[in-house]
């Protein structure tokens, strides 16, 4: 039996400088273990991942899941003699649907036993928040380390931050799914520690703060039946993941400030990962993906979590 699946609902209290991605969240959980219980406990935490895993999803807008990648549907041909405007409207509607990246949890539950593109597309959702707060551009200026001052020319650059915590329509709520045999209280306490320390870039400036609003076991989403799995994480494709459908992204990770203070280079090796929404058939038991080693040139103890939190569904013929 796989470990239980928990839904951790976070309430953002500050902007996010770094998206809530699964591998980065796992790294912050490790830092929380280190800060609370010391280096020896962190080493045991990592060594125990096979027996007592903590597999983490990305963070999603509350009540939403990533769009599953399914077999393409046959396109219904336009009626003979359709006007150019009707053809253009149909094409625009298809493009609009293709850009919808989410499905509501309750809609996924309703169609998961016979899921295909024809059943999914009418239920696809958009994120319920203001786009003006989704990517706020913040100006920074480079420091010349020789002089300790900003250059007169060419030093200005911009970084993106997610300010949707302040959007009333969004509510600042994010759902993270965790598969672990640990108790709900243990999950709550460790995530709360991350929220108090701050997550991601510029946490020392107050970015990435959140509270844990709720932790509950999600037995309904964690269905025991289905012929395929939906990944909720950024992870690698491993041998037991058969007939996968996925989209790739290159992850350019950095180590935490604590490791950097020990004299380590800040950059990890680039890693090619499948995005959330990947689907696959399974051969064998969970976990899928792997906790990667050798992701840093100087320190072999540094890891990257490329495992998948995955839930079952049945893909049906169209």
Domain that holds residue 238: 5-71+94-313
Residue 219 within a domain: yes
Query: What distance in Å separates the CA atoms of residue 90 and residue 93, rounded to the nearest whole number?
Result: 5
Residue 120 within a domain: yes
Residue 292 within a domain: yes
Residue 115 within a domain: yes
Query: What's the confidence (pLDDT) of residue 133?
Result: 59
At residue 114 the predicted structure's pLDDT band, cuts being 50, 70 and 90, is very high
Residue 201 within a domain: yes
Residue closest to 153 by CA, chosen among 145, 162, 165, 141: 141
Residue 81 within a domain: no
3-state secondary structure of 97: helix
pLDDT in tens, 244-260: 999 999 998 877 666 65
Q: Which residues contact 181 (CB under 8 A, 6 or more apart)?
A: 3, 4, 52, 53
Query: What's the confidence (pLDDT) of residue 45?
Result: 95
Residue 149 within a domain: yes
pLDDT in tens, 21-74: 999 999 999 999 999 999 999 999 999 998 899 999 999 999 999 999 999 876
Q: If you average pLDDT over residues 138-144, what whole number do you get? A: 63
Residue 273 within a domain: yes
State the CB neighbour count (10 A cutoff) for residue 204.
10
Query: What distance in Å separates the CA atoms of residue 132 and residue 263, rounded to the nearest whole number?
Result: 39
Overall domain count for the chain: 1
At residue 165 the predicted structure's pLDDT band, cuts being 50, 70 and 90, is confident
């Amino acid at each position: 039996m796989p470990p239980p699946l928990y839904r951790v609902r976070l309430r953002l209290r500050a902007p996010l400088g770094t998206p809530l991605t699964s591998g980065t969240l796992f790294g912050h959980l490790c830092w929380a273990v280190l800060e609370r219980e010391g280096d020896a406990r962190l080493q045991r935490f990592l060594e125990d991942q096979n027996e007592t895993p903590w597999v983490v999803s990305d963070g999603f807008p509350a009540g939403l899941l990533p769009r599953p990648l399914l077999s393409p549907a046959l396109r219904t041909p336009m009626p003979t003699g359709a006007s150019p405007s009707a053809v253009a409207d149909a094409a625009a509607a298809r493009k609009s649907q293709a850009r919808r990246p989410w499905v509501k949890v309750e809609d996924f539950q309703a169609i998961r036993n016979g899921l295909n593109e024809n059943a999914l597309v009418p239920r696809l959702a958009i994120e319920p928040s203001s786009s003006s707060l989704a990517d706020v551009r913040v100006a920074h200026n480079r420091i010349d380390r020789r002089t300790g001052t900003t250059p007169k020319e060419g030093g200005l650059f911009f970084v993106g931050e997610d300010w949707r915590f302040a959007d009333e329509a969004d509510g600042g709520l994010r759902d993270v799914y965790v598969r672990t045999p640990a108790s709900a209280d243990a999950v709550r306490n460790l995530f709360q520690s991350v929220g108090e320390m701050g997550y991601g870039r510029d946490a020392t400036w107050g970015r990435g703060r959140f509270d844990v609003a709720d932790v509950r076991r999600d037995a309904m989403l964690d269905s025991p039946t289905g012929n395929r799995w939906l990944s909720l994480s950024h992870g690698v494709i491993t041998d037991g993941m058969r007939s996968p459908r996925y989209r790739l992204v290159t992850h350019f990770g950095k180590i935490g400030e604590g490791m950097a203070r020990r004299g380590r280079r800040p950059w990890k090796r680039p890693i090619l990962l499948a995005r959330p929404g990947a689907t696959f058939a399974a051969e064998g038991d969970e976990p899928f993906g792997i906790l990667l080693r050798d992701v840093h040139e100087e320190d072999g103890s540094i890891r990257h979590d490329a495992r998948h939190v995955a839930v079952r569904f049945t893909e049906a013929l169209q």
